[in-house]
Homo-oligomer: A and B are copies of this chain.
């Protein structure tokens, strides 16, 4: 009940940001997932319901192991729901739809035999983009994540944070309508985190993307998102939706404001009650 109520609220309060009206880009209905393991079943997600209108930036926060990554896998069409369904851009999702949905995974999962540049090029190569074009595009993105000097390095020659940045660049190069990001900045220092967050916002605004963003940093969640979904402990449920009414473009100064502090506090309290 609380859930439905807050959801209505969120829908109403969702005024700002460059989102045009229209059917939601992502609609999740009664989504449940149970993992079968040798030691019995684990219910990872329980009856998840939400919608993400086109062009929104939605954050997901919740305790470790609550099912955030599982949810993202399902949204990407990589994991079949045990119950419920997912509608992406008005079509029920049954398999990956790379043009619509792209993922930046929690663990970088770079192809170890490809250089940083080749990894970023990979989605373009898959769809047959011409060599020169994809090279330019990939280089641009490597520049963006600060790794232009490392274009010819193999993943095992990069630091943890560098690998994660390559993975982010790869997600951008795929250029999907909807970008799912699973703690993309976890391995990065605060400075890089801020810079990349701003770059992400720029890309999001410029290309009218929809972003679903898992993070553990509440500051980051408030700074980036239009709305933050708070998930409960296992089995994951959505226990709160917090709309972030801060205006766009966001600036670092906002972080010091009282509203920002309150919003952060609000989410923090939600999580702690789980």
A interface residues (Cβ-Cβ under 8 A, vs B): 35, 37-39, 42, 61-65, 67-70, 106-107, 152-154, 157-162, 165, 183, 186-193, 216-218, 268, 271-272
- A264 closest partner in B (C-beta): B190
- A144 nearest CB across to chain B (Å): 14
**Chain B residues with CB under 8 A of A193:** 216
Known contacts A106-B160, A107-B160, A152-B39; A64 and B192 CB within 8 A of each other: yes
Return the 6 tightest CB-CB contacts between A and B, nearest first: A64-B161, A65-B159, A189-B216, A106-B160, A39-B152, A186-B186
Contact B189 A37 (CB under 8 A): no
Bound: A199/B217 CA distance, A? 20
Select from chain B the residue with minimum beta-carbon distance to A158: B65
Residue of B nearest to A64 (CB): B161
Q: In the assembly, how many copies of this chain are there? A: 2
Q: Chain B residue with minimal CB distance to A183?
A: B187
Asked whether A161 lies within 8 Å of B191 as measured between CB atoms, the reply is no
Q: Is B187 within 8 A of A186, CB to CB?
A: yes
Q: List, in ascending order, chain B residues with CB within 8 A of A160's CB.
A: 64, 69, 106-107, 183
The closest CB in chain B to the CB of A107 belongs to B160
Chain B residues near A158 (CB-CB < 8 A):
65
Given known pairs A218-B190, A271-B189, the reply for A157 and B61 (CB within 8 Å) is no
Q: Is A61 a contact of B153 with CB atoms below 8 Å?
A: no
Compute how far the CA of A70 lies from the CA of B78 in the bound complex, rounded to whole angstroms. Answer: 35
Q: How far is the CA of A152 from the CA of B161 in the complex (A)?
A: 30
- Chain B residues lying within 8 Å of A217, measured Cβ to Cβ, are 190
Q: A65-B158, A161-B64 are in contact. Are A39 and B187 (CB under 8 A)?
A: no
Q: Which residues of the partner chain B approach A153 to less than 8 Å between Cβ atoms?
A: 37, 39
CB of A160 to closest CB in B, whole Å: 5
| A63 with B191: CB separation less than 8 A | yes
Q: How far is the CA of A6 from the CA of B38 in the complex (A)?
A: 56
Q: Nearest Cβ in chain B — how far from A116, in angstroms?
A: 11
